[in-house]
A and B are shown apart, each in its own frame.
Chain A
């Protein structure tokens, strides 16, 4: 919402004769929007710092990084192009199985597996994107859900390839680029996942701040109007959906490589639903929503389920209800206000 208003605000003066020349204004606007903010530096500093400060928690951090990448990919289509999906786990699963099978049958170098998994998931994403071009949100929910169910059943049926309900055994990835061996503490795993997440995040950040990214937002806000402005909506949706599928596939491959196991559960409906929940917690459309949400979601889940293994879902549910009732924005504003006051007092 706020982005749309700043867009209008910035665009208006450029049209008036007293404004800056029209040729440079949009460029400045885009560059201004993509400038790094201090909070962003802080976020990544903490993420890297955790590698050294929390040696006991690398396994959990690894899970957070992978969930973060998966929800980042969902955010690309939901937060920027307005496509709701209940079947995003399909691409996670395709990537996971692709990486697992590749590792099992000889190509054990993880980076190669990552690229192959991303490419395969992207190809499937490209093909299935044509299914979601038409229809309303509800149709899309059903179509994406259906696609995910089909892949779940395929993985179940093709048990001589996938191992079926028992899962794929014997996935033993070699050292990354022939140098870094996976260790039992999860240190390599976290460093690896974080590095992949960071590179893909940079790419996503570049893309959403490009003219292409802006045109996606226009599509999200009003597809009809965007169309009459000359934005080819179908091609853009195909492109961003394919990109998101590549991201999800890579997240799946990371999961397989760092846990050395894949099973049917990776294609479960709960995976897709969790990703949406994470975005509810973290917010959509500013790229960090998936990451912040993944941190909060995983830590909450881990903390609560360690305290009360049987009833943690209740507390999780309560938290989500409160979050939705109070509103995330209001909570963030309150915290920001307190912070500002604390800083003001000190100065």
Chain B
């Protein structure tokens, strides 16, 4: 009993102490809700590092307002995400929300962004339907169909006739399978099999055996980023790398964060994605160098989502002249275009999604490190799901 009272008293004291300072200068608070621990911790760490780097490079004052970054760990649990976003809106009165590592986490926060009229920047989660859940969602990452559709187009144009697909058996995986198959068969290709592997602790061996038996021209793969390493290992163990089956995937499989640890097994894998640390541009070179210096790691597509998210926040504040009215900020974000480390990008005013280049890359060795080296570009790709709906 006593402990409870003590803790309650401590909580009161902390609340009082926390509420007083920092009111002198006008502040604009940015609340990032990210998985900082648990299986998706790398997402949170990449985004936080990128956001802090952006603030360090661009100064912490915009349009007369001091930017204050609040980072909260939701451990990848939707009800915690919801509570933390709600607390950030109600108690901290944040002007922007950001982060959202996984689709359910973004879904859980959607009603809060709408009710609180706070622009919420989706920096990671990639299911297409997210931005339809709240008019205050703006996305600076990508949608999975953006990457898969481009992969299908490229495969059809480059002599692939018979395809098989292998995806993790959950929402995004099934989306990827469907959008790939639809696009590929529409372009005249043939799908000879769709394989779905369990999301947790997958054993790819039996599935890969079916690929060996079916002998397609290429295998299209989508698995969440961490599982990619496991997949590559078993792909090589089964001898599929030497069997003439081309391996095509979305960039999640050869995530820059873990690519180098996959070893030579990953060499030659062809992927489609919106960002690679090896992207050739002065903006990206500056970004990668600064990121490496600040956090001793290679930035991946999560980091660039966080970086661009902060950019959107800064530019929106500049446009509104420091006003933190949610609707005004949202309007300022719609249609905004700039040159990101990933290339030229724009926020589609109608869908609040990124319109961006999708690159076809091949894993190669560059200066003793494995990198996704881009060799073809599909320019200004919109989210195909919403484009199909006429959005």
Contacts and interface: CB of A to CB of B under 8 A. Distances in A.
Interface of A: 39, 42-43, 46, 50, 53-54, 56-57, 59-60, 62-63, 156, 159, 164-167, 169, 184-186, 255, 259-261, 263-266, 292, 295-296, 299, 303, 305-306, 309-310, 312-313, 335-336, 339
Contacts of A167: 78, 103-104, 107-108
6 contacts: A46-B8, A164-B171, A166-B103, A166-B171, A169-B133, A305-B73
Interface in B188-242: 199
A165 B45 CA distance: 23
Interface in B1-29: 1-5, 7-8, 11-12, 14-15
Interface-centre pick from A60, A184, A263, A264 (highest chain B CB count, 10 A): A263
Contact of B71 (A54, A169, A309): A309
A249 to B, nearest CB: 16
Contact of A42 (B1, B15, B72, B112): B1
B45 A185 contact: no
A57 to B, nearest CB: 7
B170 interface: yes
Given A42-B1, A159-B171, A305-B72, A261 B78 contact: yes
Contacts of A263: 78, 104, 107-108
Contacts of A310: 36-37, 41, 44-45, 48, 73
A312 B82 contact: no
Interface-centre pick from B87, B115, B129 (highest chain A CB count, 10 A): B87
A39 B80 CA distance: 31
A296 B115 contact: no
Interface of B: 1-5, 7-8, 11-12, 14-15, 34, 36-37, 41, 44-45, 48, 71-73, 76-80, 82-83, 86-87, 89-91, 103-104, 107-108, 111-112, 115-116, 127, 129, 133, 169-172, 199
B82 A259 contact: yes
Contacts of A46: 4-5, 8
Contact of B112 (A184, A295, A309): A184
Contacts of A57: 11, 15
Contact of A309 (B7, B72, B108, B129): B72
Nearest to A185: B90
Contacts of A264: 104
Nearest to A316: B37
A236 B89 CA distance: 48
A67 B8 CA distance: 17
A312 B79 contact: no
Contacts of B71: 309
Contacts of A159: 171
Contact of A296 (B3, B15, B108): B3
Given A165-B172, A261-B108, A309-B71, 18 more contacts: A39-B1, A46-B5, A54-B12, A56-B15, A57-B15, A62-B83, A165-B104, A165-B171, A167-B103, A167-B104, A185-B90, A186-B83, A186-B90, A264-B104, A265-B78, A292-B1, A335-B3, A336-B2
B90 A60 contact: no
Q: Secondary structure at chain B's binding surface: helix, strand, loop or mixed?
A: helix
A338 to B, nearest CB: 9
A259 B116 CA distance: 15
A249 B80 CA distance: 19
A299 B4 CA distance: 10
Contacts of B37: 305, 309-310, 312-313
A299 B11 contact: yes
Given A54-B15, A259-B82, A305-B73, A166 B107 contact: yes
A165 B78 contact: no
4 nearest CB pairs, A to B: A165-B170, A167-B104, A263-B104, A309-B73
B4 A306 contact: no
A32 B247 CA distance: 74
A296 B78 contact: no
A44 B336 CA distance: 53
B21 to A, nearest CB: 16
B127 A166 contact: yes
Given A59-B83, A260-B111, A184 B104 contact: no
A91 B200 CA distance: 21
Contacts of A260: 82, 111
A52 B325 CA distance: 30
Contacts of A186: 83, 86, 90
Given A54-B15, A165-B170, A167-B104, A259 B78 contact: yes
A299 B172 CA distance: 34
A184 B79 contact: no
B26 to A, nearest CB: 22
A63 B172 CA distance: 29
Contacts of A313: 37
A344 to B, nearest CB: 16
Contacts of B86: 59, 184, 186
Contacts of B1: 39, 42-43, 292
B218 to A, nearest CB: 26
A59 B87 contact: yes
A164 B175 CA distance: 13
Contacts of A309: 34, 36-37, 44, 48, 71-73
Given A164-B170, A259-B83, A261-B107, A54 B11 contact: yes
A323 B7 CA distance: 17
Nearest to B172: A165
Nearest to A266: B79
Contacts of B108: 167, 259, 261, 263
A295 B4 contact: yes
Interface-centre pick from B73, B89, B116, B171 (highest chain A CB count, 10 A): B73
A43 B73 CA distance: 29
A212 to B, nearest CB: 27
A259 B105 CA distance: 12
A336 B3 CA distance: 10
A43 B45 contact: no
B7 A60 contact: no
A238 B276 CA distance: 57
A306 B15 CA distance: 13
B36 A50 contact: no
A42 B8 CA distance: 13
Contacts of B12: 53-54
Nearest to A291: B4
Contacts of B129: 166
A184 B107 contact: no
A42 B172 CA distance: 50
A218 B172 CA distance: 51
Contacts of B73: 305, 309-310, 312
